[in-house]
């Protein structure tokens, strides 16, 4: 049983670039028809029975459209929920980048012309401060890397530990508190969850 409000995290539905594994930060890539169905059918049914004190979304259309289709058309845009700025690696796959830089990962190498992992972690800390002020369950619609770092920071881990938290498109995670510890209660969920 949770000791306080939950933070429910939703990764946006499928896009063409999520299908191909292209890093999608600032690019405003729309949902595919399948991504729209994921948001409407899967996420809509998972989230329908819950009350949220505040609903927040990334400013990027794939997150806002996921929120709308899941039944939250009035989600408040929070700029700090935008995805990691990949700089020169925007639109490229890890395999493609590793052909030039062996062993490259976003967790271990700098984002040339983009945002550092520390800067992303600081943004996530600001989001957590906004959440903490609500005092009720909060729902966030955002992006894979951002949400992975957010969950790591929730658990007071370094931002780089988000690398251990795989998160598929159109899935849900729940962050909770238990005996004064911040915990991950559910992760990468595609079915109805207990509140």
pLDDT at 1: 55
Can you tell me whether residue 51 is helix, strand or coil? coil
Distance separating alpha carbons of residues 138 and 152, to the nearest angstrom: 17
Q: How far is CA 47 from the centre of its chain?
A: 16
Give the residue numbers marked as catalytic: 12, 83
Regions of the chain where pLDDT drops below 50 = none
pLDDT at 4: 80
Which domains does the chain carry? 7-189 (3.40.50.1240)
CA atoms within 13 A on the CB side of 4: 16
Residue 156 burial (CB < 10 Å; 0-12/13-18/19+)? exposed
Dihedral angle, C-alpha 130, 18, 149, 168, nearest 10 °: 90
pTM across the whole model:
0.96
pLDDT at 180: 86
pLDDT at 167: 97
Q: What are phi and psi of 183, to 5 degrees?
A: -135, 160
Can you tell me whether residue 68 is helix, strand or coil? helix
């Amino acid at each position: 049983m949770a000791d306080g409000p939950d933070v429910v995290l939703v990764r946006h539905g499928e896009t063409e670039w999520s299908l191909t594994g292209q890093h999608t930060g600032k690019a405003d890539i729309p949902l595919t028809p399948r991504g729209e169905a994921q948001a409407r059918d899967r996420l809509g049914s998972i989230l329908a029975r819950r009350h949220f004190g505040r609903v927040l979304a990334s400013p990027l259309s794939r997150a806002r459209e996921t929120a709308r289709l899941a039944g939250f058309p009035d989600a408040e845009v929070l700029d700090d929920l935008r995805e990691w700025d990949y700089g020169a690696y925007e639109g490229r796959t890890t395999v493609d980048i590793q052909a030039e830089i062996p062993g490259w990962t976003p967790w271990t190498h700098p984002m040339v012309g983009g945002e550092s992992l520390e800067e992303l972690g600081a943004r996530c800390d600001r989001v957590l401060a906004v959440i903490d002020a609500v005092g009720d369950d909060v729902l966030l619609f955002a992006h894979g890397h951002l949400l992975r770092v957010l969950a790591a920071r929730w658990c007071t881990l370094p931002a780089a530990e988000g690398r251990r938290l795989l998160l598929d498109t159109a899935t849900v995670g729940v962050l909770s508190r238990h005996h004064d510890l911040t915990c991950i209660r559910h992760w990468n969920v595609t079915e109805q969850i207990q509140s």
